[in-house]
Amino acid sequence: MTPLYLFNTLASKKQPFLYPSGRVTLYVCGITAYDHCHLGHARSAIIFDAIRNYLEYKGLTVCYVKNFTDIDDKIIHRAAAEQRPWKEVAEQFIASYNADMARLGVRPPTVSPKATDHIPRMIQIIEKLVATGAAYVIEGDVYFEVSTAISYGILSRKKPEQLLAGARVEIDERKRNPLDFALWKASKPGEPVWDSPWGPGRPGWHIECSAMAMEYLGETVDIHGGGSDLIFPHHENEIVQSETYTGKPFVSCFIHHGFVTIADEKMSKSLGNFLFIRDIFEQFAHFPEAVFGEVLRFYLLSVHYRSAIDFSSDNLRSAKQGLDNLYTLLQRLDETQSLSQPAPPGLDDVLASYEAKWEAAMDDDFNTPEALAVMQTLRAYINTRLSAGDAVYFVRALFVRWGAVLGLLQVSPEVWRYDGWLSPLVECISEATVQAWIAEREAARGRRDWATSDAIRKRLAETGIVIEDRPDGTTRIKR
RNA sequence: GGCGGCGUACCCAAGCGGUUAAGGGAGCAGUCUGCAAAACUGCGAUUCAUCGGUUCAAGUCCGAUCGCCGCCUCCA
């Protein structure tokens, strides 16, 4: 295997990622289940899905854990506002998340643990932190004392003094230091509670990831990922509490991805400029879900994962066109060739060189834009070979194999381009009507009645349906 | 205020010291076609925000300037 280089936030540079055992543990911070997922969540899920797939493509066994935060202030607040149990709120949005992921073609992680199923483990960790003096108890709350850890700030490269100077840190007079964070919170009346050595309460946010990562992946995780907004304080806190507890490195390599922006501003709840995944699918409901899911994936993977990616309908349209190119090649291959034809000599070597380029791109910190470019270049090359009459059908499998890693090219070309799609412009027009018009036009063309033929074509165009006359005389629908 | 990132053709976007600056979209031209559309092919930046510097060699390293964004508070 060629070496894989990953940008490790801990080192702030690309480093070779070693996997001598052939096994890799991957932990990604999941959602807090208090609302539907937006495009930013989709980017995160798709990036790590592709990363996981690529590690497997390289022959590694990946244990991928992505948690659900199913107890949190925001969940409690929503439940209170809607006067229903917090558990119901959490379950609803976990289900919504799962539905969105299915639409996006994201494979389920190996394990999808819920925070509330791991309370005993969290308590066990907190107890030791209290016992060793790294954490202290105040009125049923337990806080981690940041000043006990000399390495605090290694991930985010922030110095405690500088953080305080920002004056944006919440001041809780009871804490010994404003940066100290809650491991356990005493419950207020009406809130969900679990028994603990410090009285009834619930866990703080950061401790759950440490507990679940250790539970399923051991004390040191190979790769831990999330959005770059999690670097501080979430991941920084995970590191201190975990390493103080185990005395071992918590994570070998931290991977953080950039944001989805709209008009170059971070998509976020507080700015109100976010788009729910479900709403985007709704907006493009004239595409079959599997088709639009891939368009979204292609778009999200067309920018390197560490950079910001700006969302716009123009960018989405551009992605659709780009993916169409690839599907058109697949369709052209299917229609004109088959595996039974012997491949011309030398083609193997050409494909091997493209394969090497593709893998080099992915090995270079998962450079998916570069990998996509390799695919487009091969596409053009194969098209010229096809025009020359060469038998090149067997490259199809290569495209599909690459596509499987990225979650693309998994739909049949027929479905992709022509299968009974309905235009949003003319929901009143049935598939049968369209077919009848086309048959009528076929007849007109047969008697060389171009005026009628063109009139029908125009009528179809007005309803958003593009017709394509093929060399063999048949007509097919395209949108 | 502290820390970090970005600025490459009309748009999106790779490239991170060394042949002619990837790729996609759009546009234009050609092939095909009854005409279209679609598809395919071809064309497109002497130049990488600006100004200096280092180097035999710089979008690529260093410094300054301008502009944009993010983190420092829940956040993918």
Residues A413, A428 within the same domain: no
Whether the per-residue pLDDT at A382 is higher than 90: the answer is yes
Angstrom distance, A17 CA to B25 C1': 35
The rounded percent of chain A whose pLDDT value lies above 90 is 75
pLDDT on residue A144? 97
Spatial separation of the C-alpha atoms in residues A427 and A281, rounded to whole Å: 17
* CA separation for the pair A435, A440 (Å, rounded): 9
In a domain, A272, yes or no: no
Token output for A479:
């949108």
**CA-to-CA distance for A411 and A327, rounded, in angstroms?**
9
Average pLDDT over residues A119-143: 97
Is residue A399 located within the same domain as residue A433? Answer: no
Q: Which residues of A347-374 are buried (b: 16+ CB within 10 A; e: fewer)?
A: beebbeebeebbbebbbbbbbbebbbeb
| Mean pLDDT value of segment A383-402 | 95
Closest among A238, A246, A239, A244 to A219, alpha carbons compared: A246
Quickly state the pLDDT bin for A377 (edges 50, 70, 90). Answer: very high
Nucleic strand B contact set for A 252-291 (CB, < 7 Å) = 257-261, 264-270, 274
Same domain, residue pair A428 and A401: no
pLDDT at A173: 77
Among chain A residues 63-122, those with CB within 7 Å of any atom of strand B: 74
pLDDT (tens digit per residue) in A191-244: 999 999 999 999 999 999 999 999 999 999 999 999 999 999 999 999 999 999
Q: Is A276 within a domain?
A: no
Angle, CA A40 vertex, CA A327 and CA A24 arms, to 5°:
80
User: Which residue, among A233, A249, A239, has the nearest Cα to A177 in the 3D structure?
Assistant: A233
Residue A277 domain-assigned?
no
Name the more confident of A418 and A299.
Answer: A299
A293 inside domain: yes
Q: What is the pLDDT of residue A343?
A: 87
Of the CA atoms within 13 Å of residue A375, those in its CB half-sphere come to 31
Scanning every strand, the nucleotide with its C1' closest to A376's CA turns out to be B23
Residues A87 and A200 in one domain: yes
DSSP classification of residue A420: S
Within its chain, how far is the Cα of A404 from the centroid? Answer: 14
Q: Provide the pLDDT for residue A425.
A: 45
What's the structural domain count of chain A? 3
pLDDT tens for residues A340-353? Answer: 888 899 999 999 99
Structural domain that includes position A257: 4-262
How confident is the model over A360-376, as pLDDT tens digits?
Answer: 999 999 999 999 999 99
Distance CA A134, CA A346 (A): 65
Determine if strand B comes within 7 Å of the CB of A29: yes
Contact A209, A169 (CB under 8 A): no
Measure, in angstroms, how far nucleotide B23 C1' is from residue A358 CA.
Answer: 13
Q: Is A120 in the same domain as A183?
A: yes
One domain, residues A37 and A120 = yes
Q: Separation of CA A160 and C1' B2 in angstroms? A: 10
Q: Of residues A439 and A137, which shows the higher confidence score?
A: A137
Percent of chain A with pLDDT over 70: 94
Q: Strand B: which nucleotides have any atom within 7 A of a protein Cβ?
A: 1-6, 11-15, 22-26, 32-42, 68-76
pLDDT at A428 over 50: yes
CA distance A237 to A209: 10
Per DSSP, A157 falls in state T
Q: Which nucleotide is nearest to A320 (CA to C1')?
A: B25
Q: Shortest CA distance to A263 belongs to which of A274, A253, A254, A255?
A: A274
Residue A473 CA to B22 C1' — how many Å? Answer: 39
Is A453 domain-assigned?
yes
**A73 and A178 belong to one structural domain:** yes
- Asked if residue A306 lies in contact with residue A254, where contact means CB atoms within 8 angstroms, the answer is no
Residues A122 and A216 in one domain: yes
Segment (H or E) for A191: none
Structure tokens given for A309? 């990616």
With a threshold of 0.90, tell me whether the complex ipTM lies above it.
Answer: yes
Question: Are residues A252 and A300 part of one domain?
Answer: no
Give, in Å, how far the C1' of B24 lies from the CA of A403.
Answer: 17
A435 touches strand B (CB under 7 A): no
Instruction: Give yes or no for a contact between A183 and A204, defined as CB atoms under 8 angstroms apart.
Output: yes
Asked whether residue A430 is assigned to any structural domain, the reply reads: yes
Please check whether residues A90 and A222 belong to one and the same domain.
Answer: yes
Q: Does nucleic acid strand B have an atom less than 7 angstroms from the CB of A302?
A: yes
Residues A340 and A306 both lie in one domain: yes
Alpha carbon of residue A347 to chain centroid:
35
pLDDT at A474: 66
Asked whether residue A268 is assigned to any structural domain, the reply reads no
Q: Which of A284, A274, A320 is nearest to A300 (CA)?
A: A320
What is the predicted pLDDT for the residue at A423? 47
Q: Give the C-alpha separation, A231 to A10, whole Å.
A: 10
Q: Is A464 exposed, middle or buried (0-12, 13-18, 19+ CB in 10 A)?
A: middle
- pTM higher than 0.90: yes
Range 439-478, chain A: CB under 7 Å to any strand B atom: 445, 450, 453-454, 457, 466-471, 478
Angstrom distance, A399 CA to B72 C1' = 44
Whichever domain contains A162, its CATH number is 3.40.50.620
Mean pLDDT, all residues of chain A:
92
**Whether residues A146 and A256 fall in one domain:** yes
CA of A202 to C1' of B71 (A): 28
Q: Which pLDDT does position A426 carry in this prediction?
A: 46
Q: Residue closest to B1, CA→C1'?
A: A166
Does residue A392 form part of some domain? yes
- Interface residues 116-145 of A with strand B (CB < 7 Å): none
Average pLDDT over residues A322-333: 95
User: For the domain that residue A314 is a member of, what is the CATH number?
Assistant: 1.20.120.640
CA of A443 to C1' of B36 (A): 18
Q: How many CB atoms lie within 10 A of CB A346?
A: 8
Helix (H, G, I), strand (E, B) or coil at A411: coil
Which of A387, A417, A447 is the last residue in one of the domains?
Answer: A417
